[in-house]
Amino acid sequence: MAELHDLTAIEQLAALRAREISPVELTRHYLDRISRLDDGIGAFVEVTADAALARAAALDDAAPAGALWGLPFADKDLVPRAGVPTRFGSRLHQDFVPEATADQAAVLDEAGGISLGKTNTPEFGLTGYTETQIAPPARDPWNPVNGAGGSSGGAAAAVAAGLLPLAPASDGGGSIRIPAATVGVVGIKPSRGRVPFASGLDSPGGLPVAGPIARTVSDAALLLDVQVNGRAYSYATTAAGSGAFTDAATAVPASARIGVTTVSPWDDAEDIRLDPEASRAVDVATALLADAGHGVDRFEWRPRGYAEMFTTIWRTSAARMQLTDAQLELVEPITAWLVREGRALTGAQVLDVLAAATVFERETITAFAPFDAVLTPALALPPQPIGWFHPTDAPENFSQQVRYAPYSSFVNVAGLPAIVVPVTLSASGHPVSVQLIGRPGGEGRIIALAAELERRVGLLPKPDVWRA
């Protein structure tokens, strides 16, 4: 028998608006699942049940209003919410309770959503896995021996396990796409400048942006529409305009030219080995898109000098954190290494690498320009066990993250939109995803193509925990 979490987010919204279910009923359903199941998943670091139920009760007494009216979500634990502990994945902030709510959370509130708490994230969102000193690790619901990826690992795990219908997330080097691909759900990284309250335009290299994680392409597009339209632009952007991305997810896409590559910009610096299952997923997606009438071409892409450039930008971003020497002794080794390495850079080195990033952006957009979308693997390796990333050797830890997910960070540097969507099952029965990268401001096109893949594949099975 179908349960409420078996419905898509869009179906849940329809049931709410038709008064077939109430916000309190839906909120209780998800809170019950979190209470029973999250100890084995590690998706949440804070559950605000009383506040959620009070919010749901208030909505029960009001007319439906807002794109997310009555729909549960949860804030990533990098996003302050007034009165709720916000720890940033770090023991330095175990007792921090903000007085103000950040726009990333307020926009979803204003759309009628109901926050159930905070999702797990690594320290300051710096890594592509979610294992910290202050909380249990976020685990892959398909096989909890493995991690859920990061930095939005808790958000992805919650959606994959049926603990949330959808979740807001953020992506500075793959932090939406890595966990979404790890646990077999959909994640969208928008263009630089697309989401007003998390545009990327105020950070070194313009890397981090906000975006959605959901079980289906349409659900992810729904949340992206809310994120894009929740605040007016206060500056010129490289991705002017907005949605409706929900409409794109249901439209029949026009014939597109799609480039296919398994080259990553890390190939010259790291021992990148593409897992056969990841390669097969690309082949399957290529065949499905060709069968749908799209032009699909393999192409050679030879990026240069990327590894040193990105590593320097990542260190520069870390160096901006206001941490004392004493605090650096308390943070994760990878955090301390990045901060110290970043602080050792000269101003000239930082300016040079930011200039190099601009050149890389231009060259990448030029290389991809013949195509409406570029198809790549989502990850190079299958999900890895908890503890696989080296706990103390920071350079090796960073290298492992690159070898696991070499197709993610360059999209942030180039400022392009990208979506990951599962298309095959591995021999063990785990979803395997591909990535579609769009032109600047081209979210609608890649959402339409991903939705077409989703329709042709059919919704894949769910993990066992889904039925618990």
Instruction: Say if 1 falls within a structural domain.
Output: no
CATH number where 55 lies: 3.90.1300.10
Residue found by looking up tokens 């926050």 in the block = 115
Q: What is d(CA 414, CA 65) in angstroms, rounded to the nearest whole number?
A: 37
pLDDT > 70? residue 49:
yes
pLDDT of residue 233: 67
Burial class (CB in 10 A: 0-12, 13-18, 19+), 236: exposed
How far from 236 is each of 25, 241, 290, CA to CA, in Å? 42, 11, 37
Dist CA 176 CA 152 (whole Å): 6
Stretch 46-55: mean pLDDT, rounded? 98
Model pTM?
0.97
Q: Which residues pair with 146 in a beta bridge?
A: 385
Percentage of the chain lying above the pLDDT 70 cut: 97
Taking a C-beta distance cutoff of 8 angstroms, is the pair 241, 353 a contact?
Answer: no
Instruction: Annotate 412-422 with b (16+ C-beta within 10 A) or e (fewer).
Output: bbbbbbbbbbb
Looking at residue 240, its pLDDT comes to: 46
Place of tokens 């997923």: 281
Number of domains in the chain: 1
> What does residue 429 show for φ and ψ, rounded to 5 degrees?
90, 15
Per-residue confidence (pLDDT) for residue 242, from 0 to 100: 45
CA distances from 320 to 203, 208, 335, 354, 398 (A): 10, 14, 12, 15, 19
* Least confident span in 114-123, 225-234, 254-263, 414-423: 225-234
* pLDDT cut 90: percent of the chain above it: 92
Quick check: is 157 in a domain?
yes
- Give the list of residues 6+ apart from residue 134 with CB closer than 8 angstroms, or none: 45, 87, 89, 90, 91, 94
Tokens of 191: 């263009």
Task: Specify whether 118 is catalytic.
Answer: no
233 versus 220: which is more confidently predicted?
A: 220
In a domain, 56, yes or no: yes
Active site annotation includes 76: yes
How many Cβ atoms sit within 10 Å of the Cβ of residue 328?
A: 16
104 and 197 in contact (C-beta within 8 Å)?
Answer: yes
Domain that holds residue 20: 8-467
Confidence of residue 230 (pLDDT cuts 50, 70, 90): confident
Residues 6+ apart with CB under 8 A from 96: 85, 86, 87, 88
**pLDDT attached to residue 241:** 46
Query: Is 3 within the bounds of a domain?
Result: no
- Does residue 292 lie within any of the structural domains? yes
pLDDT average, residue stretch 333-357 = 97
Q: Which of 90, 170, 175, 409 is catalytic?
A: 175
Short-list 258, 265, 171, 257, CA closest to 213? 171
Work out the mean pLDDT of the chain and round it to a whole number.
95
Among the listed residues 163, 145, 143, 170, the one whose alpha carbon sits nearest the alpha carbon of residue 89: 170
Q: Per the domain annotation, does 360 fall within a domain?
A: yes
- Residue 2 within any structural domain of the chain: no
Residue 236 — very low, low, confident or very high, per pLDDT cuts 50/70/90?
Answer: very low
Output the six-digit token pair for 70: 């009555």
Active-site residue (options: 151, 152, 170, 408): 151
pLDDT, position 1: 62
pLDDT of 56-82, one tens digit each? 999 998 999 999 999 999 999 999 999
Q: Is residue 399 part of a domain?
A: yes
209 contact partners, CB below 8 Å, separation of at least 6: 170, 171, 172, 189, 190, 191, 192, 194, 195, 198, 199, 200, 412
Catalytic site includes residue 151: yes
Task: Look up residue 167 and give its two tokens.
Answer: 């979740």
Q: Quote the CA–CA distance of 419 and 417 in Å, as a whole number.
A: 7
Whole-number pLDDT of residue 170: 98
Catalytic residue among 76, 118, 189, 462, which?
A: 76
